[in-house]
Amino acid sequence: MTTTVAELVAPAEREETPSGLVWLVRDSWTEALRHLRALLRNPELLMFATIQPVMFVLLFVYVFGGAIEVPGYPDYFSYAFSWIQAWMGLSVGSVEAANSAGFLWMFPLTFVSSAFVDPSTMPEWLQPIARNNPFTIVTNATRALYNGRPPGSDLWVAIAWASGITVVFAGLAARKFISSAAR
């Protein structure tokens, strides 16, 4: 059977737009490869993108990890908040903006907690915020465990905060990723 010129130049049939888990994995892999190729052309970014996470893991595991013996200690403070960072990174236009945006929520949340000062020394209007801050809950639970005291409900509330933050921001980040990948 011979092929006519009209068949050769006719537009190809369009495949159905991929969706579902297979599409998500394939699209994620494509995006990862694109970013890795771009990193190879920018050695400074590659160096900082590689060194900074390693530095933080080493800091939390070896500096703080020996002082606070809580199972999974490095995993609780980082996993839930990494989803906030993922969502923010997908919401802004550049790596620099994502890096700066991370400090906008983390800086006040860290300092308006019991991590550095007792919330009772803060202004009255700020005390309820500081007492219910997830950093305060986790700090109080780890201090109690470190000092051999029962953490009370703080341990369960800390786990609830971590779970809630993970569910909410993993969902938002996934939705943002899917909607931006569809464009």
Model-level pTM? Answer: 0.55
| pLDDT in the model for residue 131 | 92
Nearest to 105 by CA among 119, 128, 87: 87
The more confidently predicted of residues 85 and 161 is: 161
Which ranges constitute the DSSP H helices of the chain? 5-9, 20-40, 43-58, 73-91, 95-111, 127-132, 134-146, 154-182
Residue 137 CB burial class (10 angstroms; 0-12, 13-18, ≥19): buried
Token pair, residue 55, equals 């530095």
User: pLDDT for 59-88, tens place per residue?
Assistant: 666 655 555 554 544 455 667 778 888 888
Helix (H, G, I), strand (E, B) or coil at 126: coil
6-15, 45-54, 88-97, 112-121: which range is least confident on average?
Answer: 6-15
Token pair, residue 117, equals 């000062």
- Using the predicted structure, report yes or no on whether residue 168 has a pLDDT greater than 90: yes
Judge whether 77 and 138 are in contact, CB under 8 Å. Answer: yes
Gap between the Cα atoms of 163 and 82, Å rounded: 12
Gap between the Cα atoms of 43 and 57, Å rounded: 22
